[in-house]
Amino acid sequence: MISGPGAAMLDSKLFVSRLNGDFPDLYERWWDGDEWIWINHGRPASSAVTGTPGAAMLEEKLFVVVADGSLWERHWRSDLGRWAWNSHGRPGNRPIVHGPGAEMMNEKFFVVTDDGHLWERHWRNDQGRWVWNDHGTPPATTVATAPGAAMMDSKLFVGTANGRLYERAWNGTQWVWVDHGLPTGTSVATAPGAAMMNSKLFVGTADGRLCERVWNGSQWVWVDHGAPPATTVATAPGAAMMDSKLFVGTANGHLYERVWNGSRWVWVDHDTPPGTTVNAAPGAAMMDSKLFVSTASGRLYERTWDGARWTWVNHGTALHDRAEHVVGRPGPDPKLSILIMGDGYAEADMNAYRSQVTSQVLGALRLDLLLLHQGAFRVVRVDLVSVESGVRERRYNTRGTIISDVFKFSRLGLIPNDSWDRCWFDMSTFTDARIEKLRQRFAPDADHVIVLVKSDTWGGCSSVGPGTGYFTEGSGMTTVAHEMGHNLFALGDEYVSATETFTGVSRYPNTSEAPSEWNMLKWFDLVAPNTPLPTNAARPPAGWNRRTSVGAFEGAGGSYATGLFRPVLECRMNQNNPPWCPVCGRKILTDLEVFE
């Protein structure tokens, strides 16, 4: 679960508090120029963050309340080039229960403590420090909502325990309480918000209506906006835009817009985010065209105008991408470096993803002789969090026409196509750049990247040498091992599935053309004694071990039934499951030796 969205900055970031799981931390959702990503800001003094972040100032600081009710500032220290936590403590040693809100002049904002007092936190430039000012309680009642609807750098509004709206205003001499009374026939039930034109604000009421408190030029009056059709207002109003619209969450989980259309106020139903409901006040409005809501599913959703219509954008659960060295340690010593990441794994899939990495990729890297040479490797696993589980799936017919294309939004945009002659995968336009960005961030020294793709299909597609390889979960450890034989150690295929004749000179260490003299065979020193060369696969010598006895069997390189020879009858570069043969093993050891 996450708090409501708050503390929007630069039209490109906002903050939420994550309220459950292993990371009860402050999270930033940031558009990095390529995609929205989650950044974990951690928690101050090991105390879980609990409230909606707010009071963003100067595009570089915001405030959040933690579990013990104290206030913390998260501040971008440009002098240090990093974010820092600063403690603001508890006002009057009372825990904060509402706020922060009602920021003014980039130097003050307000919170509410558990005894119903309104407190101001003020940067006193003359004193060079922050101070707490106790504004006390409104007459004969206490503050019961977050402070909001700051106006003119000198007033703000709160809802009180007796259901009234109170203004706290600086009259030029002192701060005073101004009683705005009760909305007609009901009481204030939400924090005030959506201030507009320094003369109006909105509240949700106890009977589920939206009420406006507006200065009509001579006095403050209540304007009843009623309830949205067939439902009631359930959150504070927020995400005011263009001095003419605001948004609320409703009891049926919809997002509703209340907008002045030029002649009257109308309700616009934005429906529910797909598969879930709105459960907190809308916030973090940006560019008059997007806002964010938290949902019952724990996901953050964006409601955005895409140029033609309003659409929902799933931002997923607040969980950051993380990297872990799963083989070897960070360091400058050269290693055969591999970066593993997943596509289509949402937060709920992360344990399964890690298991897949262990069983398929790390399992492949521990096969046979590799187990004894783990010191040559540096393997980094990136837990890349997609906003939804699974990836886009596309299918073609035999004429190459797309017959189905089921969209899902995954981080790397890999699209399994279940087609061997289409390399099993289509790529999105951003796939390569996204992978490169992650490589630069998490493992810039990676020689090879392996991507596990969450799909039920079979498939794997890989660069011919070091580069990037993509595999679905179903492709299996031995398939990954075979491909790594190609990518990491430049081994050739030892199988044959066609009838062509090889006429060239093999560059691969484990396949060979017929040499002019068989004692010139590149692996002659490994040939079993008294072995006829070439060796007849149908009638190998007595006692022949199909996996370890080395000869020269015709047929290799995938296509060549004749003219190209392989050293053994069974090898990982042939049938995938058997271990690498002695000839492949020698090449692997030579390649790894420079990294040990």
Given the rule CB under 8 A, which residues bind another protein? 11, 59, 223, 242, 259-266, 268, 286-289, 305, 307, 331-334, 420-424, 427, 432, 436, 440, 444-445, 447, 458-467, 471, 475, 479, 482-483, 486, 490, 493, 495, 497-498, 504-505, 507-509, 558, 575-576, 587, 590-591, 593-595
Looking at residue 542, its amino acid is A
Minimum CB distance to another protein, residue 45 (Å): 32
Measured from the CB atom, is 550 or 588 closer to another protein?
588
Measured from the CB atom, is 562 or 575 closer to another protein?
575
Q: CA-CA distances (angstroms) from residue 587 to 489, 575, 580? A: 7, 19, 10
Minimum CB distance to another protein, residue 288 (Å): 4
Minimum CB distance to another protein, residue 266 (Å): 5
Sequence-ordered list of residues with C-beta below 8 angstroms from that of 260, at least 6 positions apart, any chain: 244, 245
Give, as one character, the DSSP assignment of residue 79. T
Going 528 to 529 to 533 to 538, the CA torsion angle's sign is: negative
If we measure between CA atoms, which residue out of 519, 503, 510 comes closest to residue 486? 510
Q: How many Å apart are CA 316 and CA 298, to the nearest integer?
A: 8
Measured from the CB atom, is 324 or 436 closer to another protein?
436
Q: Where are the beta strands (DSSP E) in 505-544?
A: 512-513
Q: How many Å apart are CA 126 and CA 149, to the nearest integer?
A: 27
Measured from the CB atom, is 292 or 471 closer to another protein?
471
Q: How many Å apart are CA 75 and CA 27, to the nearest integer?
A: 13
Minimum CB distance to another protein, residue 463 (Å): 6
Minimum CB distance to another protein, residue 445 (Å): 5
Q: How many Å apart are CA 535 and CA 89, to the nearest integer?
A: 82
- With beta carbons less than 8 A apart as the criterion, state whether 472 and 462 touch: no
- With beta carbons less than 8 A apart as the criterion, state whether 160 and 142 touch: yes
Minimum CB distance to another protein, residue 193 (Å): 18
Q: State both tokens at 100.
A: 């922060």
Rounded (5°) CA angle 229-231-237? 95
Measured from the CB atom, is 208 or 226 closer to another protein?
226
Looking at residue 523, its amino acid is W
- With beta carbons less than 8 A apart as the criterion, state whether 280 and 311 touch: no
If we measure between CA atoms, which residue out of 485, 488, 410, 489 comes closest to residue 449? 488
Measured from the CB atom, is 97 or 361 closer to another protein?
361
Minimum CB distance to another protein, residue 438 (Å): 13
Measured from the CB atom, is 158 or 443 closer to another protein?
443
Minimum CB distance to another protein, residue 233 (Å): 18
Sequence-ordered list of residues with C-beta below 8 angstroms from that of 75, at least 6 positions apart, any chain: 60, 61, 83, 84, 85, 86
Torsion of CA 48, 51, 55, 56, to 10 degrees: 60
Measured from the CB atom, is 128 or 307 closer to another protein?
307
Measured from the CB atom, is 125 or 429 closer to another protein?
429
Minimum CB distance to another protein, residue 119 (Å): 29
R_g (Cα) of the chain, nearest Å: 32
If we measure between CA atoms, which residue out of 225, 54, 61 comes closest to residue 148? 54
Partners of residue 451 on adjacent β-strands: 341, 470
Measured from the CB atom, is 421 or 517 closer to another protein?
421
Minimum CB distance to another protein, residue 234 (Å): 22
Minimum CB distance to another protein, residue 244 (Å): 8
Partners of residue 303 on adjacent β-strands: 291, 312
Minimum CB distance to another protein, residue 350 (Å): 25
Q: Where are the beta strands (DSSP E) in 307-401?
A: 310-317, 322-327, 336-343, 377-383, 393-396
Sequence-ordered list of residues with C-beta below 8 angstroms from that of 163, at least 6 positions apart, any chain: 182, 186, 187, 188, 189, 206
Measured from the CB atom, is 147 or 555 closer to another protein?
555
Measured from the CB atom, is 368 or 445 closer to another protein?
445
